[in-house]
Structure 1
Amino acid sequence: MPLNRTPPSIPTLSNTDCISENLCQSDPNLSLTSDHSVLSEQITQRIKRKRSTKQYDTTSDNLTGFKNEIKDFIKDLISNQNARLDRFENHIMEIKSQYTKIEDSNSSIEKSMNHMSDQLTSLENNISALEKERSNMVSQISLIEEKMENFERNLLKTSIEIRNVPKLSQGARETKEQLYALARSLSTILNVELKGSDIRDVMRYPSKKEAKSSTISIEFSNTLLKTRILQASKEYNKRNPSDKLNSSLLGLNSDKVPIYVAEKLSANSNRLFYMARSFTKSNNYLFCWTSEGRILIKKDTNSPYIVVKSESQLETIVKPNTA
């Protein structure tokens, strides 16, 4: 069978409880309240505060002023930024203009450099051609000089020189007969027989007026006579170390001075012979002599001889250790 439920009882509040719960105006027993409208009004009634119009207007004005300040600040900021951007753009344009000028200048310089490079290349080619031509000319000149030296050597291969021969008295003129007589006197001293046809020419080299002696050149008819005279003069000096060949043996009325018989050389060979003698002295070489126009040096009796052909060759000869 169905169960009947009774509604829950509403607790009653005392006046004291009403005061503590802020329900002082409510009836403690709602079920006993007959006026439901009054109860509803008591429950839903709220106290509403009225908004102050003056306060609202002030806040609105402050907000509007703040907005205006923000707008002005943003406008100033944008204006400043635009001004800076304009200056920056002007700087960029100036830099771009300068860069364009520099680029044009660099282009002009590059063209000039290319032109100069082409000129230098052409100049180098010309120099190379000139150096090659010069090298060929030097080779040809050396060949010509060598041929001339050989030719001159052939012309002088029958000639000798008698150096330091006193002159005749000052003011007197020397004749060919006197010079031939000197040549025959030399051959007699050296025990080399000469005929009149064996001597082709005799001459004295020119010298300064104040010089008391000079060199006499004798040209023989063949190289055999020349070789005999040279060899005999060396043997004579070896046999007479204290009284070597001198002017008194030639019958000259002058002070007794030594004379020297040597092979006649060309100008180049004579200079090279001088340098070879200086080289042998400074480097302790014992021998330096000429033979048939050639210049020879020798370190000692057991060393091979060296034919000196040029000045540069002397520089390449190994010098002995001086340590």
Structure 2
Amino acid sequence: MPLERSPPPPLTTPLTPTTLFSTPQPLYTPHCSSEPNLNANMISPPSNMSPAITFRNINIKRKRSDDEENCLSTFMTDLRVMFNDLKQQQEDKYNMLFSKMDELRVTFDMMSEKLNNLTSRVEHLESERGESMSYIATLETKIENMEQGSRSTCLEIRNIPVEKTENKTTLLKTVLDTSKIIKCEMNSYDIKDIFRIKSKDPAHKTMIVNFTTVLRKEEFLEKYRKHNMNSFKLTTEHLKIGGPAKPIFISENLSSRNKRLFFLARGVANTNNYKFCWVKHGKIFVREKEGSKHIHVKTEADLSLLAKTII
């Protein structure tokens, strides 16, 4: 679009001061940049001129007063002070945070060192505990062997009713009568001691027979087993004891630990189809079938391994 404008039409009336200010004429203004405040730069017209016409004072410029300069200077000063204060506060906070981080780092290092020391001590104690447990197990085995060894000449006879006037003499007679039935020649001097111990049924307390030698004990037990296998099961009726006939059981006198182990071994043998489970010389054995190798059960751990093997 062209920036030049067409010139105004020629005046029909001569331009004189009278005609200029008496008759309104269109004012021609060349293109230029406008002032921000046109009203402030306008010159009031002379009194004899029309009030609709104003003239622009090009030479007058708006000047900044001293109060404005002072206010601006004060504002800038306050702004600088505010920023300096904010900067100082931020620096103080950062310094405090760095100080706390240093303290935490020192504390963490100390805790880490203590943790390492505790870990070393725990490992040392675990090692000592393992050695102690091994030593305790060894002592328990020795005590168990000693306890079972002290019972090496003893047998248990169960299911014989308790008599009201019972004493060691009557008990000895019962044992000797039993030896005659199972055809095991025995005299009173072959028995060192005989007594009863507590059991679940007070009317049928277990009888403990302590022989003078292990050989005599083994002979008596072997005769009993052969008699039950080849002849008839021994009962209270054969000993002429009143009341209904009850089977008589004779076995080795085991320690408390071995009794529990034997009980568990019988359960595992039945569950895993083992055909034989027996005790000999205070030791527990199992065998899967005829002709297979016997297995010596020493601890409960042997039973768990035994069960896993069958599975």
The TM-score bracket by the shorter chain reads 0.7 to 0.9
After superposition, residues 274-313 of structure 1 pair within 5 angstroms as 274-313=263-302
Alignment partner of 1:258 is 2:277: no
Shift in alpha-carbon separation, 1:109–1:212, aligned structure 2, 3 A: same
Corresponding pairs, count: 255
Match of 1:138 in 2: 133
Question: Is the 1:166–1:254 Cα contact (8 Å) retained in structure 2?
Answer: no
CA offset at residue 265 of structure 1?
0.9
Q: Output one character per residue of 1:239-265: Cα deviation in whole Å (capped at 9) or x when no partner.
A: 24xx51112222322331111111111
CA offset at residue 128 of structure 1?
2.3
1-structure distance, mates of 2:236, 2:296: 33
After superposition, residues 1-323 of structure 1 pair within 5 angstroms as 58-62=57-61, 65=62, 68=64, 86-168=81-163, 172-207=164-199, 211-240=202-231, 243-317=232-306, 318-321=308-311
Look up the equivalent residue of 1:188 and give its one-letter code: K
- CA-atom RMSD in angstroms: 2.8
Shift in alpha-carbon separation, 1:196–1:87, aligned structure 2, 3 A: same
1-structure distance, mates of 2:304, 2:86: 71
Task: Flag the structure with higher helix content.
Answer: 1
Shift in alpha-carbon separation, 1:101–1:193, aligned structure 2, 3 A: same
2-structure distance, mates of 1:239, 1:131: 57
Shift in alpha-carbon separation, 1:251–1:91, aligned structure 2, 3 A: farther
2-structure distance, mates of 1:291, 1:207: 23
Question: Is the 1:246–1:258 Cα contact (8 Å) retained in structure 2?
Answer: yes
Query: Structure 2: which 5+ residue stretches go unaligned?
Result: 1-42, 44-55
Question: Is the 2:191–2:211 Cα contact (8 Å) retained in structure 1?
Answer: yes
Shift in alpha-carbon separation, 1:183–1:114, aligned structure 2, 3 A: same
Query: Structure 1: which 5+ residue stretches go unaligned?
Result: 1-53
1-structure distance, mates of 2:179, 2:87: 107
TM-score by length of 2: 0.73
2-structure distance, mates of 1:316, 1:91: 76
Q: Output one character per residue of 1:55-79: Cα deviation in whole Å (capped at 9) or x when no partner.
A: xx933323xx2x749xx79x95x87
Look up the equivalent residue of 2:214 and give its one-letter code: T
Shift in alpha-carbon separation, 1:79–1:307, aligned structure 2, 3 A: farther
1:109 alignment partner, SS class: helix
CA offset at residue 233 of structure 1?
1.5
Question: Is the 2:158–2:250 Cα contact (8 Å) retained in structure 1?
Answer: yes
Shift in alpha-carbon separation, 1:173–1:116, aligned structure 2, 3 A: farther
Shift in alpha-carbon separation, 1:225–1:99, aligned structure 2, 3 A: same
CA offset at residue 83 of structure 1?
5.5
Look up the equivalent residue of 2:274 and give its one-letter code: Y
Look up the equivalent residue of 1:273 and give its one-letter code: F
Shift in alpha-carbon separation, 1:206–1:93, aligned structure 2, 3 A: same
CA offset at residue 105 of structure 1?
2.2
